[in-house]
């Protein structure tokens, strides 16, 4: 499975339909339960929680690997229970974030393996 995920991910960016609509829908539910209380339902952030969408978010992650974003979420979120999300839930939340940023959905789910995500780059959408 990991080898297949690596091959599928190689050289892709967020512009290459790297998640599915169904995965983003699952991520919406995880976000609502684990993230929205700090980052706001509309991803705008608040208080100490930064926004998870928009110009600043895109500029901050542009050019980094999706493994970097996955690792940040996986190890530090949610703030009241860091590391409590399952890897699949973290990938689903990332798919939700990508969907809200208007990246295109595709036929293959975003993998939950760091090695595969290292092969994928965050490329900010044109604004």
51 with 39: CB under 8 angstroms?
yes
Give the per-residue pLDDT at 126. 76
Q: Determine the Cα–Cα distance for residues 28 and 3; give it in Å rounded to an integer.
A: 28
- Residue 125: the pLDDT is 83
Question: What is the CATH number assigned to the segment(s) 2-121?
Answer: 1.10.760.10
How many residues can be counted in the chain? 127
Distances (CA, A) of 93 to 3, 96, 127: 23, 5, 22
pLDDT tens column, 66-88: 999 999 999 999 999 999 999 99
Per-residue pLDDT of the chain (127 residues; tens, 9 = 90+): 445 444 455 789 999 999 999 999 999 999 999 999 999 999 999 999 999 999 999 999 999 999 999 999 999 999 999 999 999 999 999 999 999 999 999 999 999 999 999 999 999 987 5
Domain boundaries, the chain: 2-121
Question: Is the pTM above the cut of 0.75?
Answer: yes
């Amino acid at each position: 499975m990991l080898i297949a995920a690596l091959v599928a991910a190689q050289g892709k960016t967020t512009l290459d339909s790297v998640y599915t609509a169904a995965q983003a829908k699952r991520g919406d539910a995880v976000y609502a339960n684990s993230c929205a209380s700090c980052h706001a339902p509309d991803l705008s952030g608040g208080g100490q929680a930064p926004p998870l969408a928009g110009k600043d978010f895109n500029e901050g992650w542009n050019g980094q690997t999706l493994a970097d974003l996955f690792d940040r979420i996986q190890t530090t979120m949610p703030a009241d229970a860091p590391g409590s999300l399952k890897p699949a839930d973290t990938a689903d939340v990332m798919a939700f974030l990508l969907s809200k940023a208007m990246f295109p959905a595709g036929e293959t789910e975003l993998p939950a393996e760091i090695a595969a995500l290292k092969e994928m780059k965050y490329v900010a959408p044109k604004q």
